[in-house]
Amino acid sequence: MNTNVITYQLEDSVITITIDDNKRNVVSPTMLKQLNAALDYAQKQNAVVILTGKGDVFSAGFDLNILKRGVIDALSMISGGFKLSARLLAFPTPVIIACNGHAMAMGAFILLSGDYRIGAEGNYNITTNEVAIGLIVPKAGIEINRQRLNPAHFTRATMLAEYYNPSNAVESGFMDKIVPYDEVLNEAKALALAYTKLDLKSHYKTKMRARNKMLRSLKLGIFTDRISFILLGIKRMIGK
């Protein structure tokens, strides 16, 4: 199926979903709507998911034009981004992220939401860099980092906005494996085919048992972030 931002293909009970906006693969309302539709289809087919990007960017994070447009549009997009992460973390079948390049801010949180992350070799950045650009890391983002990053790197990535790259992505917990760029999708597909042999009901029940506490914290974080963002918008309006 071809859409403006998302393409997906189902083969041998594996669905490959590709983000491609011909630019920076930003997380926008359009991208979120289309990606969730692709995940709906994957869920109906009980398919193992591969999520990847096009070009040299996996995702550069939220669409800055939407963030500048106003509180309502920005709030909807930010909440939608972290709801997508929650959905991936609780998805009924295995989710593999085939990271082809830069994963910035919300792009990095989506990367961390996969069950297995395969990254390409290359010169690109992985970062949750909100603190570096004058933003407070959303509580939902903090919960994702806490769940997936190795403890020694949690503070460095979350509070110090450290930039990572393929050479230290596995050590930090952003990735599980690094392979040459041309082999990323083949590695992901081989792994996905192996995962189709799992008992998927047992996989899902185990996933939910393992992540139940974290998912509750993530849900609370999304709610808390919404309230904080609304209050910030009100303060800005009063300040004007």
How many Cα atoms within 13 Å fall on the side-chain side of residue 187? Answer: 21
pLDDT tens per residue, range 20-75: 999 999 999 999 999 999 999 999 999 999 999 999 999 999 998 888 876 778 88
As given in the structure block, the two tokens for residue 67 are: 């963030």
Neighbours of 238 (CB within 10 A): 7
Q: In what order do the strands lie in the sheet with 177-179?
A: 6-11, 14-19, 48-53, 95-99, 116-120, 177-179
Cross-sheet strand order for the sheet of 102-104 = 57-59, 102-104, 126-127
What pLDDT, in 10s, does the model give residues 182-223?
A: 999 999 999 999 999 999 999 999 999 999 999 999 999 999
Quote the pLDDT of residue 71.
74
pLDDT at 87 over 70: yes
**pLDDT confidence bin for 3, thresholds 50/70/90:** low
Model pLDDT, residue 230: 73
Q: What band does 1 get if pLDDT is binned at 50, 70 and 90?
A: very low
CATH number of 6-195: 3.90.226.10
Neighbour tally for 139: CB within 10 Å: 17
- The upper half-sphere exposure of residue 196, i.e. CA atoms within 13 Å in the direction of its Cβ, equals 18
Q: What pLDDT score was predicted for residue 172?
A: 98
**What ranges do the domains of the chain cover?**
6-195
